[in-house]
Structure 1
Amino acid sequence: MATADNALPPGESSTDREDHVENPRRRDYLSIGAVAFAGVGAGVIALPLINQMNPSADVLALSTTTVDLSGIEPGQAITTSFRKQPLFVRNLTPKEIAEAEAVPLSELRDPETLAQRTKEGHENWLITLGVCTHLGCVPLGAGEGETRGPFGGYFCPCHGSVYDTAARIRQGPAPKNLFVPEYKFTSDTTVLVGEA
């Protein structure tokens, strides 16, 4: 006699029921296939969205600047542009190097040696952003005849910040030295700014 649990609906035999039972492996295969299909679809949709966040060619072109040093005499400086900001490139004289190295670090608000701010073997080349670290004005001192302040470096006319020959803050409200960007020498007379 059949129990209530094993009772079959009228007109159905036990062999009919066995034919309707699904194969559990087939169900797993369909589940895995659906998840994989959804994952591939999500990747196809996400890839262009992520790729559009990459910088464009014009932005990449601005990310580095090549500077020709051959025309800059000792004691001279030029102003060029790096990432839409002024860039000061100065060829220090032996006297300016000696003055920078003679300053005790204890006297500096933002202590850095000249060696930390230049590349080994190229200590005479000082490359900094021409942006005062107080409120972003452009200091004087890179152009011919501009005032360099009492320490021979740069003078910010906006609020009176004064930098020395190593572009280190010596007086005034600026909290930090002029920023030295990443750069490398590609030859004795060429520098690539924006790449270490």
Structure 2
Amino acid sequence: MADTAATATPETAGATDDGIRRRDFLDIAAVSAAGIGGLAVVYPLVSQMAPSKDVLAASSTEVDVSAIEPGQAIKAVFRKQPLFVRRLTPTEVQEANDVDVSSLRDPQTLEERTKEGHGDMLITMGVCTHLGCVPLGAAEGEVKGEFGGYFCPCHGSHYDTAGRIRKGPAPKNLEVPEYEFTSDTVVRVG
């Protein structure tokens, strides 16, 4: 017995028969505790950046467009913001297509702003691209501006029937959100 104590080195002190030292166990336990503690701190910080349940629930909106007559527009809500859905008349479609796109501040054709096969349905966010006011023109009797589309009463931006900026301080056209027709009468936005 005295012979084994004499041959013990600092590296083998406290080692068991299978070569594991008590210090190795303490090192593993300390690193594991630090990792769990780190996760306990980081998880709430990361999870609080995720969207809330009410935002996820409003991440898409379905709109029934079957009752919208040509020349009529409706307002809906998408992600807590107004959404304009307008069915253009054949005359409005022709007027929008006749505009020289190169003369526009934010050049886009009506075809680029609508879905194929539904060129008469214009879906835009109802938020002016200048400072975020809600333009008029979607409801019956509202001022539609000089170009028959939308008029922002805050600073005087005028949009045409295709939601393109034509006059005023707004830098861009009304935004067209991601959307798809799930049937001939239902549109899913988002």
Deviation of residue 80 (structure 1)?
Answer: 1.5
Distance 2:175 2:137 in 1: 16
Which residue number in structure 2 is paired with residue 104 of structure 1?
Answer: 100
Structure 1 residues 38 and 17: alpha-carbon distance in aligned structure 2, compared to 1, 3 A threshold = farther
Structure 1 residues 16 and 99: alpha-carbon distance in aligned structure 2, compared to 1, 3 A threshold = same
SS in 2 for 1:106: helix
Normalised by the size of structure 2, how large is the TM-score?
A: 0.82
Distance 1:153 1:38 in 2: 61
Distance 1:140 1:129 in 2: 12
User: Out of 105, 109, 113, which is 2:109 matched to?
Assistant: 113
Distance 1:55 1:178 in 2: 25
Unaligned stretches of 5+ residues in structure 1? 1-12
Q: After TM superposition, list the pairs within 5 Å mapping 1:1-196 onto structure 2.
A: 16-19=5-8, 21-23=10-12, 26=20, 29-30=24-25, 31-32=27-28, 34-194=30-190
Deviation of residue 142 (structure 1)?
Answer: 0.9
Deviation of residue 41 (structure 1)?
Answer: 4.3
Deviation of residue 192 (structure 1)?
Answer: 1.5
Deviation of residue 160 (structure 1)?
Answer: 1.9
- 2:31 is aligned with what amino acid? V
Distance 1:177 1:139 in 2: 12
Distance 1:57 1:129 in 2: 22
- 2:20 is aligned with what amino acid? R
Normalised by the size of structure 1, how large is the TM-score?
A: 0.80
- 1:126 is aligned with what amino acid? L
Unaligned stretches of 5+ residues in structure 2? none
- 1:16 is aligned with what amino acid? A
Aligned residues: 182
Deviation of residue 49 (structure 1)?
Answer: 4.4
Distance 2:54 2:133 in 1: 26
- 2:68 is aligned with what amino acid? I
The higher radius of gyration belongs to: 1
